[in-house]
């Protein structure tokens, strides 16, 4: 049994034939979010994701370069997509930034369906909760205790505002 023919495989995977200016023959790509992203654009998205993750972790390019064993100029070229990384180097970057390949690529390849306003608020809340948790993990014990106490002190006020109209209660 010969298996799928080219056209069957292309159809099965939902690929589209595209012209890549760097190739002298057609290539087949899968649309992302309803459109096919040029490979150069994809390289730029990967570079931007790399830069965003590094800055989110408050790491200097020099520090990441040192951890990777490359020159700072080399690492800077990775972040502006003027140099491309090998798969091995990219996996090393994931180790240094403490991220899985799935976490790295998920925002780049998953389609973003349209959401209602309630879904958007919930997604924003989820994102804020996750980012806040990430920041809290970086705090020393004393600072974390202070933030904890502050949140506890704010909680009754927040609940009261949600229940009432903000007016003071009448004296007995």
Same domain, residue pair 52 and 86: yes
- Model confidence at 88: pLDDT above 90: yes
How many structural domains is the chain composed of? Answer: 3
Tell me the pTM. Answer: 0.56
- Domain of 17? 8-36
pLDDT above 60 (res 77): yes
| Cα 139 to Cα 148: distance, rounded to the nearest angstrom | 11
Tokens in use for 171?
């004296």
Rounded CA gap, 108 and 27, in Å?
A: 20
What CATH number does residue 75 fall under? Answer: 1.10.260.40
- Residue 11's Cβ-side half-sphere holds a number of Cα atoms within 13 Å equal to 5
Average pLDDT, the chain: 81
* 43 and 105 part of one domain: yes
Residue 22 φ then ψ, to 5°: -85, -5
- pLDDT confidence band for 90 (50 / 70 / 90): very high
The answer on 105 and 47 residing in a single domain is yes
- Model confidence at 168, in pLDDT bands (50, 70, 90)? very low
Is 156 among the domain residues? yes
Structural domain includes residue 21: yes
pLDDT of residue 120: 56
- Listed ranges 11-20, 42-51, 149-158, 161-170; the one with the highest mean pLDDT: 42-51
Q: Is the per-residue pLDDT at 165 higher than 60?
A: no
Phi and psi at residue 67, in whole multiples of 5°?
-65, -30
CA dihedral over 111, 114, 116, 121, signed as positive or negative: positive
Per-residue pLDDT at 137 exceeds 70: yes
* Backbone phi, psi, residue 95, to 5°: -65, -45
Is the same domain home to 20 and 69? no
Q: Is residue 1 part of a domain?
A: no
62 shares its domain with 100 = yes
| pLDDT the model gives residue 65 | 97
* Greater pLDDT, 90 or 38: 90
Same-domain pairing of 23 and 85: no
Rounded CA separation 107/10 (Å)? 24
Confidence bin at 97 (pLDDT 50/70/90): very high
- Specify if 70 maps to a domain: yes
């Amino acid at each position: 049994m010969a298996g799928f023919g080219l056209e069957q495989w292309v159809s099965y995977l939902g690929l589209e034939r595209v012209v890549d200016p760097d190739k002298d023959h057609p290539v087949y790509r899968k649309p992302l979010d309803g459109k096919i992203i040029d490979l150069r654009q994809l390289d730029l998205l990967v570079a931007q994701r790399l830069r965003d993750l590094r800055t989110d972790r408050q790491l200097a390019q020099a520090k990441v370069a040192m951890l990777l064993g490359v020159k700072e100029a080399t690492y800077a070229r990775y972040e502006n997509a003027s140099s491309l990384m090998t798969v091995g180097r990219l996996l090393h970057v994931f180790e240094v930034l403490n991220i899985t390949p799935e976490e790295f690529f998920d925002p780049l390849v998953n389609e973003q369906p349209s959401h209602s306003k309630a879904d958007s608020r919930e997604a924003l809340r989820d994102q804020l909760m996750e980012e806040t948790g990430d920041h809290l993990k970086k705090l020393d014990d004393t600072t974390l205790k202070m933030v904890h106490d502050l949140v506890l002190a704010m909680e009754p006020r927040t609940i009261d505002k949600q229940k009432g109209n903000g007016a003071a209660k009448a004296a007995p």
